[in-house]
Chain A
Amino acid sequence: MSTLNSEHTSDKNLDEVLLANAEHFEWLLSPMPRSSTPPGHEGGLVFHKFNSMSQTWSRSDA
Chain B
Amino acid sequence: MHAVSGGVSGTALGLRPSVLVMQPTTLCNLNCGYCYLPDRGKRLGMPAAVNRAAAEAVARWRDSGHQVEVLWHAGEPLAVGVHKFENLLADWPPGTVHHIQTNATLIDEAWCDLFHRHHVRVSVSIDGPEHMNSGRVTRGGAPAWLRITAGIAVLRRQGIPFHMLSVVQDPAPEVAQLVYAHACDIGAEVLGILPQETKGTHGECSSTRKSQWVSFFAELFTLWRAHPVVRLRDLESVANCYDAVRSGITVDDLLDIPVEPIPTVSYDGEVTVMSPDLAGFAHPQHGAFTVGNVLRHPLEDLLSRAGSVPWVREALAGVDACRRICRYAVGCGGSWPANKYFELGRLDGTETNFCRNLHQAKIEGALSCQP
Residues on A facing B (Cβ under 8 Å): 1-5, 7-8, 10, 12-15, 17-19, 21-22, 24-25, 27-29, 31-32, 39, 42-60, 62
With A7-B356, A14-B328, A45-B240 in contact, do A54 and B121 touch (Cβ < 8 Å)?
yes
The reply to whether A54 and B101 form a contact with Cβ atoms under 8 Å apart is yes
- Of B192, B243, B260, the residue contacting A43 (CB under 8 A) is B243
Residues of B within 8 A of A17 (CB): 367
**B245 → A minimal CB distance (Å):** 5
Would B240 and A46 count as touching, CB distance under 8 A? yes
**Most A C-beta atoms less than 10 A away, residue of B164, B231, B240, B248:** B240
Over the window 327-371 of chain B, the binary record of Cβ atoms lying under 8 Å from chain A Cβ atoms (1 yes, 0 no) is: 111111101101000000000000100001001100110111101
The listed residue (B21, B244, B275, B328) touching A44 by CB distance below 8 A is B244
**In the bound complex, do residue A43 and residue B123 qualify as a contact, i.e. CB atoms below 8 Å apart?**
no
Interface residues of B, count at CB 8 A: 72
List residues of chain A with CB within 8 A of the CB of B371. Answer: 27
- Are A18 and B364 in contact, with the CB atoms below 8 A? no
Chain A's closest residue to B233 (CB) is: A56
Bound Cα distance A57, B235 (Å): 9
- Contact in complex: B236, A57 (CB < 8 Å): yes
Complex-state Cα separation, A48 to B330, whole angstroms: 11
A-contacting 9-mer, from B25-33, B42-50, B250-258, B302-310: B250-258
Contact with A along B234-277 (1 / 0, CB 8 A): 01110111111111111101000100101000000000000111
